[in-house]
Amino acid sequence: MLQQIEHIAIVVQDLEAALHVYRDVLGLPLVRIEEVPAESVKVAFLELPRGGSHIELVQPTDTESGIARFLSKRGEGVHHICFRVENVAEAMSRLLSAGLELIGQEVRVNREGRSYIFVHPKSTHGVLIELYEVKSS
Amino acid sequence: MLQQIEHIAIVVQDLEAALHVYRDVLGLPLVRIEEVPAESVKVAFLELPRGGSHIELVQPTDTESGIARFLSKRGEGVHHICFRVENVAEAMSRLLSAGLELIGQEVRVNREGRSYIFVHPKSTHGVLIELYEVKSS
């Protein structure tokens, strides 16, 4: 079902400071920086040269959002792991049949029209997992 | 410098229970299960079908090891992210020049003869990062 690691999202306090490490020292190419007011975050997208995976550095832009609360409770670090799947609706039905708990009851769709769901860390041994639909070409 | 996500290591309490989720429900092929007495862990290696990355589920086999202490302090979840690099010695020198802190002072070599280092999470915005040498073919 899981096809590929799409991205690893890392919550950081200061996007510029984190870019210094991940882009300038570790050498990951920066794809773009995006403000997402709906989620009160600023996100830097970096790309691994091989394997099709990305690193997303996520900085909260307020103190109330889910990301801001995560940061204040747990500190900087890995927020979630996103995997590509062929079909999110099928994946969701399989997860629910197996008794796993999702975050939210429905498949969500992002601004690019791609479907995704989040699986609750209590069902995945402590890892917040996103499943993201990308049809194989 | 970073080439590819080699693996994501997840600390779990009970390897069989975690395999039920990651292998049976999420559908990741199991490559092998290995006991590593030197580190007091049992590890299940699972493979993503695309992108060359792996998931390692790590269960402590005692209560004193680093992994056991991590589990008891932080609970189940992501332990570290491992990236492939072309040359660990060069990477190490670049990291030290930039003032990043490593865990240990020297390049380590695993049983397969591959070189690796760990970068301290305080230098990487909360993520324990392993750099693992794989020459590109």
A52 to chain B, closest Cα gap in Å: 6
Q: Does the structure's ipTM exceed the value 0.85?
A: yes
Place of tokens 């990301």: A67
Using the Cβ of A113 and the Cβ atoms of chain B, whether some distance falls under 8 Å is answered with no
Contact A25 B94 (CB under 8 A): yes
- Cβ A49 vs Cβ B134: under 8 Å: no
With residue B95 as reference, give the H or E element that holds it: helix B88-97
Four-point Cα dihedral A51, A57, A58, A59, nearest 10 = -170
Full domain range(s) for residue A50 = 2-133
C-alpha distance from B110 to closest chain A C-alpha (Å)? 22
Shortest distance between the Cα of B50 and any Cα of chain A, in A, equals: 5
- Cα distance between residue B135 and residue B137, in whole Å: 6
Asked if A52's CB is within 8 angstroms of B2's CB, the reply is: no
DSSP string, B28-92: PPEEEEEEEGGGTEEEEEEE-SSTT-EEEEEEESSSSSHHHHHHHHH-SEEEEEEEEES-HHHHH
Structural domain total, chain B = 1
Task: Name the nearest CA neighbour of A42 among A64, A21, A62, A20.
Answer: A62
Q: Is the pLDDT of residue B37 over 90?
A: yes
Residues facing residue A34 across a β-bridge:
A43
pLDDT at A93: 96
Residue type, A44: A
Q: Residues B6, B87: contact at Cβ < 8 Å? A: no
* CB pair distance less than 8 Å for A121 and B57: no
Query: What does the pLDDT read at residue A42?
Result: 98
Segment B93-114 mean pLDDT: 93
Contacts of B124 in chain A (CB under 8 A): 21-22
∠ CA A10-B33-A79 to the nearest 5 degrees? 10
Interface test with A, best of B1, B3, B4, B5 (most A CBs within 10 A): B5
CB neighbourhood size of A109 (10 A)? 12
pTM higher than 0.90: yes
Q: Do B51 and A52 touch (CB under 8 A)?
A: yes
Burial B101-136 (b: 16+ CB within 10 A, else e): ebeeeeeeeeeeeebbbebebebbbbbbbbbbbbee
Question: CA-to-CA distance for B55 and B6, rounded, in angstroms?
Answer: 9
In this complex, do B5 and A124 lie within 8 Å of one another by their Cβ atoms?
no
> pLDDT 10s per residue in chain A (137 long)?
999 999 999 999 999 999 999 999 999 999 999 999 989 999 999 999 999 999 999 999 999 999 999 999 999 999 999 999 999 999 999 999 999 999 988 999 988 899 999 999 999 999 999 999 998 76
Segment B5-29 mean pLDDT? 98
Q: Find the residue in B nearest to A78 (Cα).
A: B127
Whether residues B3 and A50 touch (CB distance < 8 A) is answered with yes
Measured between alpha carbons, how far is B118 from B105 in angstroms, rounded to an integer? 10
| A86/A31 Cα distance (integer angstroms) | 24
Give the residue from B21, B84, B125 with the most A CB atoms within 10 Å of its CB, the best one to mutate: B125
The CA distance from A49 to the nearest CA of chain B, in Å, is: 5
Q: What is the CATH number of the domain that holds B91?
A: 3.10.180.10
Rounded Cα–Cα distance for residues B28 and B53 (Å): 11
What are φ and ψ of residue B124, in 5° steps?
-130, 25
